[in-house]
Amino acid sequence: MAASESAGKTLDQFLGSLGSETITELSSKSSSLMGLFDLNTAADPDPDYTDSEYSAPPELSLVNLMFVDQQYPLKPSFQEIVRDIYKTEPKRINFDQQEKVKNEVNSWAEEKTKGLMKGFLPPTSKLKGPLFFANALYFKAAWLDQFVASSTRDEDFHLLDGKAIRAPFMTQIEESMKRCGSFEDFKVIRLNYNTGRCYSNNFPRFCMDIILPERKNGLQDLLEKFNFDTKLLLQDFKLEDMLVTEIWIPKWKFSYGLDMVKLMKKLGLTLPFNYPDADFTEAMDSPDAEEIFISKMLHKACISVNEEGTEGASIVSCDENLGCSMYPPPEIQFVADHPFMFMIKEKGSGAVIFTGAVLNPLSDI
């Protein structure tokens, strides 16, 4: 969204960091990404398809917010981009009224996520003008293949410091076919969500890939590998159909808040946040445009993982055209009893809409 109001070297930095050559290309990508979150139109394009296995949508929200100091008049062309592509309206405010602004931000976040996200900004936060951006993401969905609550049991989860804690594990001990992969120092299992079909085929749209290091203390090395090559986050692992004899995954609630300015600077995007180097002259019809820079970008995300599933999901428990073979599939056990990564993906586009790591499943339960 900020790239749409930038120009010159600032725009060049935005385009380079976001993998686009022109602002038109970037706007097209952004529009497609926002469309992924419009489940009312994208989840099931076939009006004749009424199978209840795919009828329950997830709770999925991605909302954007932009505040601009009231003394800066915005260009109509920029407001149109923000409204049409990013589904929000730039709002002029008085940044001197800190409590009022924070209350408005928190009310916005709670309303747009249907009450799922409260206290977006803590009481101690301070906002500075002239621009403020925020986005809020919440995802909650039922598993396609349910975990039975009565099968949940307390077992040891091994922390990075070598200590073990007792944590509730969701289990599936009956044999089932899953998309899995075993690699040099980690393995992956794909669990589908009951979230509608993936465009022109019958595959579930959303899935979670759980990436488990082979070593109990191997998460740090795994994170460094993914941080060193961010393309790993976007690739589709070469998974194959495997006969999974046991699945053990801890229940967890995951949430975090992040100041995106620090992250963006680490990735080489520096000009938008520095005065007077930032160039946001596409945002307004005023000489004061040369004074604009981004003071803060916040991101907060939440996810809840538990046993909830859908009755009768076993009729589609085979993922992505299992087919037939004269050879038995390889077998695997997947026991996530130590820190691991996870990614939630939209399979039609390959977009990663959520990624994180579970260090301690009890930390937020």
pLDDT at 213: 94
Neighbour-count burial of 223, counting CB atoms closer than 10 A to its CB (0-12 exposed, 13-18 middle, 19+ buried): middle
Q: Would you state the pLDDT for residue 200?
A: 44
15: which 2 tokens? 């385009």
Residue 145 and residue 174 in contact, taking contact as beta carbons nearer than 8 Å: no
The answer to whether 336 and 285 have CB atoms below 8 angstroms apart is: no
Tally of helices (H runs) and strands (E runs) in the chain: 8, 14
The confidence score (pLDDT) of residue 230 equals 59
| Token pair listed for 223 | 């994170």
Alpha-helix runs per DSSP H in 2-92: 8-17, 23-35, 39-42, 76-86
pLDDT in tens, the chain (365 residues): 788 888 899 899 988 888 889 989 988 888 887 777 665 444 444 444 344 443 456 666 677 888 888 877 888 888 898 888 888 888 888 888 989 988 988 898 888 777 767 787 888 887 776 777 777 777 777 788 888 888 999 999 999 999 999 999 999 887 888 888 888 889 999 998 876 554 445 567 788 899 999 999 999 998 888 766 656 666 667 788 888 888 999 988 767 677 777 878 877 889 888 888 888 888 877 777 777 777 777 777 777 777 653 222 211 222 222 233 444 456 778 999 999 999 888 877 777 878 888 999 987 54
Alpha-carbon distances of 343 from 57, 90, 100, 225, rounded to whole Å: 19, 31, 36, 15
Query: In 3D, which of 208, 192, 146, 194 has the Cα closest to residue 336?
Result: 208
Task: Name the token pair of 207.
Answer: 């899935």
Which contacts (CB < 8 Å, 24+ apart) does range 95-103 have?
Answer: 95/67, 95/69, 95/127, 95/128, 95/129, 95/130, 95/132, 98/126, 98/127, 101/67, 101/127, 101/132, 102/127
What amino acid is encoded at 22 in this protein?
T
User: Which residues share a beta bridge with 63?
Assistant: 136
Q: Does residue 50 sit in helix, strand or coil?
A: coil
**Which domains does the chain possess?**
2-35+59-140+254-302 (3.30.497.10), 149-251+306-358 (2.30.39.10)
